[in-house]
Each structure stands twice: as C-alpha cells, then as structure tokens.
Amino acid sequence: TYTVTVSNDGNGTGAATPSTAAAGTTIILTAMPKEGYHFKEWQVISGGVTIKNNKFTMPDNNVEVKAIFEEDADDRARKGTPL
C-alpha cells in the first residue's frame, strides 16, 4: 500500500479518504476552509496524479497534495485589502 499526505496553506485543512491505499484505489479529497476563506484548488506536490472532482486514482507510489485556500472577497473588502 501507498500513502497520501495532505498538507495545507494554513487557511484550512485537507484530508484524503482513504489515506493509505493500494494502486488503483479511488482516493477522495476533502477540503475544509477556515472562516473567511474558501477552497481554491489542490496542488499536486508529488506522485504525478491528476485530480478531478476532488478524486484521483492511487498510483503505485506515495502521493502528496496540498489544499490551497483563498480569502473570501467580502472579507478582503471589509479589511480594505484590494481585490
């Protein structure tokens, strides 16, 4: 079996189900943003997978992905940060 490692940019968390799997298994990714943020995208750090609809097929090696979040537009406007 191989391992899926999920990191984040500090503005939310990410998880993989299952987090260890044999090659060929469908992995489902879940992103949970902090308040004031929304999920933007998954970045593939290693493992060479293609993520589609928050899923990918486990290759015959370990995978690392990163959850990227973005500040909500209304929060940026409230703080006076340019959009």
Tens digits of pLDDT across the chain (83 residues): 999 999 999 999 999 999 999 999 999 999 999 999 999 999 999 999 999 999 999 999 999 999 999 999 876 566 666 65
Question: Cis link prior to 59 (omega < 30° from 0)?
Answer: no
pTM of the model: 0.87
Helix (H) or strand (E) holding 43: strand 37-46
User: How far is residue 76's CA from residue 80's CA, in Å, rounded to a whole number?
Assistant: 6
Cβ–Cβ < 8 Å for 67, 39: yes
Q: What is the pLDDT of residue 74?
A: 78
* Cβ neighbours, 10 Å, residue 10: 9
DSSP secondary structure code for residue 31 in this structure: E
Residue 27 corresponds to which amino acid?
A: I
